[in-house]
Amino acid sequence: MRALFIGGTGTISAAISRQLLEEGHELYLINRGNRSETLPEGVHSIIADIGDEDRVKELLGDMKFDVVADFIAFQKKQLERDYRLFKGRCSQFIFISSASAYQKPLSDYRITEGTPLSNPYWEYSRNKIEGEEYLMKLYREEGFPVTIVRPSHTYDERSVPLGVHGDKGSYQVIKRMMEGKPVIIHGDGTSLWTMTHNSDFARGFIGLMDNIHAIGEAVQITSDESLTWNQAYEAIARALDVPLIAIHVSSEFLDASSDEYDFKGGLIGDKANTVVFDNQKLKRLVPGFTAKVRYDQGIRQTVDYILSHPECQREDLEFDAWCDAVVDAITEAAEKVKSVRKK
């Protein structure tokens, strides 16, 4: 199989790239070359800004591919560009959408590909929905060979999956745990969520590649494992061998208390909702697929990797100060209410 990825070095795409090359497939990546040190051996790198359409067209020449996948398309106009570049050049075009596109609030916590798409809380999700609709129209009217993939919360060895974190990643929350400081869990921590290791996602994705039964379909790829957020944070603390000191804060309060962090989209429009994914469609299209990495095992590998790789330990002092302010505000509010009642 000959494949072309737009992107190819992110949390999801890097794992797919590695597995494809291990299986002996031919893989080309279009990216700007900023992370060339992370590229797996054997990949064919096309150094270009995908936004420079004329240059990309020139570099591609008359090349054709079994599969083209865009991992960094977030708006319809980017997919319009992809259509111009790859119409007639590939047998399958895969768009990476998002499970956050499913309706919020949910009418049923059990998610299938038939769950309606609607998210008034998050522009990111609405843009993904618009992209899906554009591509499916091309499929219905012109036969453009599209497959839509909807990941949910996928993680790798470089970052711990969290509900509440700053712009510099997850390390500051880990550091707070190690320092014995309270960490913020949104809501009461009992809503269900699914975290998928990128190696599991990659196997499902590769099974959809060059798969005639996946053309014209939307498919979600997640683990079958569901955890509460309390369980997820407890697993992180156990991996660090420290006690979990949690403070629970409503998602609405978190959204109202910050102009810098997008908790309206990321929490109210996504992670604060209980979701349980039904992967029967994926298993029908990719016989034998099952997610193998249990969360507590995967998160221990991630924590070990982060602690042994200083480049993953990006401190975020602004987020740390914001956490302290939220914790103080919640604690003070509780004490104030108790004092009023005593009077």
pLDDT for the residue 247 = 97
Which of 168, 175, 161 is closest to 314 using CA atoms?
168
Answer for the pair 139, 216: CB distance below 8 angstroms, yes or no: yes
Q: What are phi and psi of 218, to 5 degrees?
A: -110, 130
pLDDT for the residue 235 = 98
Homologous superfamily of domain range 92-334: NAD(P)-binding Rossmann-like Domain (3.40.50.720)
Q: DSSP secondary-structure letter at 116?
A: P
pLDDT for the residue 341 = 61
**2-6/67-70 β-pairing:** parallel
pLDDT for the residue 292 = 96
Which of 129, 128, 118, 164 is closest to 262 using CA atoms?
164
pLDDT for the residue 339 = 81
pLDDT for the residue 32 = 82
Which of 100, 199, 219, 208 is closest to 155 using CA atoms?
199
Report domain extents, the chain: 92-334
DSSP string, 120-172: TT-HHHHHHHHHHHHHHHHHHHH---EEEEEE-EEEBTTB---SS-BTTBSHH
What digits encode the pLDDT tens for the residues 94-143?
999 999 999 999 999 999 999 999 999 999 999 999 999 999 999 999 99
Would you call 258 exposed, middle or buried from its count of C-beta atoms within 10 A (0-12, 13-18, 19+)?
middle
What digits encode the pLDDT tens for the residues 175-211?
999 999 999 999 999 999 999 999 999 999 999 999 9
SS3 state of residue 272: coil
Residue stretches of the chain with pLDDT short of 50: none
Question: How far apart (Å, rounded) are the C-alpha atoms in residues 295 and 87?
Answer: 39
Which of 237, 242, 225 is closest to 299 using CA atoms?
237
pLDDT for the residue 343 = 57
Residue 190 in tokens? 């009992």
